[in-house]
Structure 1
């Protein structure tokens, strides 16, 4: 049977409708990437003027810089501890907020409220809180008799980075808790009632029911938080600007300083491509590993 002209055109109609949006999205995404790749392969002045082709020299300069190696190591530490701490705290918080108790709506609002505040403003508040002379942290500790004098939280290399990790965890909890609450709301309550009838304890219900059913949402929060935290700029830059003695620089703040303070945009472009490659590789490997585990668990015994 021959197909009518209308039937032949119909499948192509949706594609024709979305082609303008696809072209625009492709341009918005591809043009900055092309520009960064172009700059990373050329010698660029501090004002953005292209001087000449340099090949991979910008990448060589970056990898030979001890500041880059230190920033890369701290980025891994920053991402692992902030994401890990966020998930470990957000899971019990979401479990509590999912229970039916008086004032649950207010409690949820209080937990979610910091999410609506600008991250830069949050970092400003925490920088004030950890101020050596009049910050509320030092004042509170001294009034409680826990310290005899002010602690230089952000001026000491051994303390500044752990403080910023703690702040990073606190500001990431609302977003993660929201996703986990959405996952918990999709879990049917009948299975818990059946488990209680069978004599399952609260820990057994969590380990054998809640955690497996919540696992896809946990995987989602881990992936999204890794991408978000890996590129997180305001907390570290506002609180310490990578100091003291460059002890708190991560890749994104190192990139900013390289491009806008030191006037080396070619090397900054190389760092941004390295960050893109690291994030893309992690996302690909993580999704493949989780997909393989899900397939193995779904296979019949």
Structure 2
């Protein structure tokens, strides 16, 4: 192809190019990014190393590392029924929030991709929850569902429904459901943004050709929109899993993992172990389990983005 013929010599020339200091191109580039790499190692690498070290040693409440414990901290964590319960609830929390977010975001993105009067305002309204911190969102919703003076109970009571002073957060199942709904609410703007980017990249000529062939709008969606949007949905899925799995403010601010640890997830369990009970070794072991799971999803995300970039280059 002509484009490939023009770019190939340029790539070959740039690959063999040297800097003005006489260094090869890759070595000079490595020198330029060395300060950023060193800062990343200091800010990210050392805490990871310290958590690994604490997970393998006996650690006092004050953080003093004592004798080597091997995998004893991991054994204690997996023998703790609260840890196993938090792990199950983490799976439920992640699957429900991420799955619900995709189900809600796809139709919203399709609507916002259409050309209609007030589309800019509609997009702004959809993105508003993204501009508010998770902590502030959780605080607001905690007051909304408060059993004594919450606006939700006041509104339902004004409509004649028997919900006056109803304790929404006292029931573990109801509290967890409310937190999942709030998690979906705050995850929709980010997901819609990714999906809108995918929808705008679909050539309009494909829809025009399908309309000429007499294809219905539903067939155009299943055979054109959905396949071409799927790579963006994959990226949104993996990123949302990483964010939601590790999300702390909503559950901690609304219920502190209660009642009776029934809304705890792994991140709140680790926080309690470290700062409420002083079991730093157990907390470090739980953190390492979370780190391993998130590392897998991060590698999946890198694979997806790399494969998507390869498709774009082709």
Give the TM-score normalised by the residue count of structure 2. 0.87
Aligned position for 1:299: none
Distance (whole Å) between structure 2 residues aligned to residue 102 and residue 282 of structure 1: 39
1:61 and 2:67 matched: no
Post-superposition offset of 1:211? 0.7
Give the gaps of 5 or more residues in structure 2: 1-15
Per-residue deviation, 1:4 = 11
Conserved 8 A contact 2:235-2:305 = no
Aligned match of 1:10: 24
- Whether the aligned pair in 1 keeps the contact of 2:56 and 2:71 (CA below 8 Å) is yes
Distance 1:44 1:286 in 2: 34
Once the two structures are superposed, the pairs formed by residues 76-155 of structure 1 within 5 Å of their partners are 76-147=91-162, 149-155=164-170
Q: State the superposition RMSD in angstroms.
A: 2.6
Q: Map Cα deviations across residues 145-167 of structure 1 (whole Å, 9 max, x no partner).
A: 33354332101122111111111
CA change 1:144–1:5 in 2 (3 A) is: closer
Q: TM-score with structure 1 length normalisation?
A: 0.90
Larger mean Cα displacement after TM superposition, 110-119 or 41-50: 41-50
Question: Following the alignment from structure 1 to structure 2, what is the Cα–Cα distance between the partners of residues 4 and 74?
Answer: 54
Cα deviations across residues 187-217 of structure 1 (Å, max 9, x unaligned)?
1112111211111111111111111111111
Distance in 1 (CA, whole Å) between partners of 2:303 and 2:80 is: 33
User: CA–CA distance in 1 between the matches of 2:63 and 2:179?
Assistant: 32
Deviation digits for residues 2-22 of structure 1 (CA, Å, limit 9, x no counterpart): x99989733332222222322
- TM-fit CA distance, 1:254: 0.5
| Residue 190 in structure 1 maps to residue 205 in structure 2 | yes
Q: Does structure 1 retain, via aligned residues, the 8 Å contact 2:106–2:192?
A: yes
* In 2: Cα distance, 1:55 partner to 1:157 partner: 36
Which residues in structure 2 correspond to 1:1-301 (within 5 Å)?
9-11=23-25, 12-147=27-162, 149-284=164-299
Pairs aligned (count): 294
| Structure 1 spans left out of the alignment, 5+ residues | 296-301
